[in-house]
Amino acid sequence: KEKKSKRDDKVRKKKPQTDESEQSEEESSSPKLKKAKTGGKQNGHVGEESPENARLSAASAKSTHKKQRSNSSESSIDGDSDQEQEQVMVVPGVPMVTRGAFNTPMTEEQKEGAFSNFPISKGTIQLLQARGVTYLFPVQVKTFQPVYSGKDVIAQAQTGTGKTFSFAIPLIEKLQVDSEERRRGRPPKVLVLAPTRELANQVAKDFKDITRKLTVACFYGGTPYNGQIDLIRSGIDILVGTPGRIKDHLQNGKLDLTKVKHVVLDEVDQMLDMGFAEQVEDILRVAYKKDSEDNPQTLLFSATCPNWVYDVAKKYMKSKYEQVDLIGRRTQKAATTVEHLAIECHWSQRAAVIGDVIQVYSGSHGRTIVFCETKKDANELALNASIKQDCQSLHGDIPQKQREITLKGFRNGAFKVLVATNVAARGLDIPEVDLVVQSSPPKDVESYIHRSGRTGRAGRTGICICFYQRKEESQLRYVELKSGITFKRVGVPTATDIIKASSKDAIRCLDSVPLTAIEYFKESAQLLIEEKGPVNALAAALAHISGATSIEQRSLLNSDVGFVTMVLRCSEEINNISYIWRKLREQLGDDVDRKVNRMCFIKGRMVRERWEDSKQCSLCVANELPELEESQRGGRGGGGGGGRGGGGRGGRGGRGGGGGKNRSFSGSRNGRQGGSGRSRSRNRGQKRSYDKAFDR
């Protein structure tokens, strides 16, 4: 008090108050305290604010009120601007600098998720802020009250929305206010089951990051039993694990689950799948009694909840349970922050094209996860020289210890590309993944949703690229239908795209070279400049640094190497494929059909040298893949036949019917018109037609 400024003394003389009256006035005038009180009423049976929270709120309000009095001779907050300023400064969980100093307005999501709206202790708030969490996300807001109040919950939300903290925060707050003595050898109060070791490890880490009072243990296969038994003897509050290892400890009589009060099934759709259902039931049978309302609180969380999940879950849950669905009848089930692209590519070209895609869409400094269907594919792709970035694989055959080291290295940025099977598809929160590549369409829609959800997390944007072959087109459309997304069909990265991306990466690498190292290379650089010239010398250096010393041109249609995709535009509708061939022969010669292979010429620049645009048609090189009609992507139209080997399959996008002396290639737009007559047996009446670009 003796150190207060004279200005503060003058303000105090104007409004003399005792300490108690001053505190009372501050509590009544503080927007934060009003907001906390209102939040308590809204939460209903969530419970009143804890004494610790009350002290935190009063202290925060008092400190803020005094700061404002030191900047103004008026202590009231009648003006709207002052009121807004005070509210911005006292909301816990939102950095005061970013919101107060720069006067950044709060979003509705931030206001709704402010920590002051919930009975969260000061210690937990500080630990959440250390994790970069400054307010609760929508799924956390919706689930906090029912979880904290002890209701059974089924929660469904899109990937990357913070489902783990949706049950971790309220459960920790509930356990921390419990006055029961935490004795040695105490059995767990919370049991969390996860389908994979990696997800279990991550969930346990999330719990540990936001509590210092509770003991969190994680049990999964591939690790020694002795260390886990020691933890059981010491006492556990929260147990996270995979069903297999938890069941082992139960059968050995080492683990007691009769005192469990809260059970969480994370990624419930996979947990209750055929491979896990029996193990889960064996575990829960210990903690649950048949048709009893005294059973533990049951929490089911996932991004996808098929109808059968609800049917199976009812046997574990109380008659009245809370359903939190942030997807609902929404058409798009996948994350809205992810852009979904599709590239048609034959399996033989896939590895090389994936390397180009990573270079263009993620570069050497971004993180990429590539999903493969088999362990063999993951190993081969991780070792393929087409991927220039540091790369490692992750799948079930890799020892558990190495899997943990691999995941840690990827999180820390030790390498930039992770090639994995579905073991990395569920729940893993790896920060700042820029690109997800799926080497082929997954067998089920749920897998696609979970894989694509590894990017675009926590409000960030991301890109997911799915490779497919022409025979997998229907599978791709099925994913679109069920997930509500629309794939944007794109071509492979062009040579120009690759050069630009590689140059950008190389220039960025130069920025990391220290000045002390540059001094040692100046003499060699000067000699190189004198020999090659400054521009050529630097260009060669950038090419070598980026690894893009040789770039192959590929077809935009099917990714085949060595082909250029051309676009022919006409001022009138093309009803017959023979019209295209007639136009080509008029300008490029009668032998054009022998030199055309998949929409492009085998060698040379004959098209650009000999073709001249007319009023009706123009021909140019395609820099990106135009949107194609479905008939060109789907099956080929049938054609009539006749003569020896005659009768090609007609249709726009199908082979025109062939045969006869003139070999007309006259397949119609709807695939009805064929050809007839004699043909050369070696061609079977079918020339290398315009449509060959779609056939292979």
CB atoms within 10 A of CB 541: 15
pLDDT in tens, 638-655: 333 333 333 333 333 344
Tell me which of 693 and 105 has the higher pLDDT: 105
The H or E element that residue 43 is part of is: helix 31-43
- Nearest-angstrom CA–CA distance, 472 and 350: 14
Residue 233: band (very low, low, confident or very high) from pLDDT cuts 50, 70, 90: very high
Q: Contact at 8 Å (CB) between 144 and 169? A: yes
pLDDT value of position 205: 93
412: its two tokens: 């820390």
- Amino acid of residue 219: F
pLDDT in tens, 549-563: 667 777 776 677 777
Please give the model's pTM, rounded to 2 decimal places: 0.53
Four-residue CA torsion sign, 399, 400, 406, 409: negative
466: its two tokens: 């799915």
**Strand pairing category for 596-597 and 600-601:** antiparallel
Question: What are φ and ψ of residue 463, in 5° steps?
Answer: -125, 135
Q: Any idea which of 44-58, 186-200, 251-265, 440-454 has the lowest mean pLDDT?
A: 44-58
Cα-Cα-Cα-Cα torsion 489, 494, 354, 341, nearest 10 degrees, comes to -20
pLDDT value of position 274: 52
Most confident segment among 203-217, 333-347, 488-502, 589-603? 203-217
- Amino acid of residue 61: A
DSSP state letter for 465: E
Percent of the chain at pLDDT above 70?
Answer: 66
- Nearest-angstrom CA–CA distance, 497 and 51: 60
Q: Any idea which of 61-75, 426-440, 634-648 has the lowest mean pLDDT?
A: 634-648
Give me the mean pLDDT over the 519-526 stretch.
Answer: 89
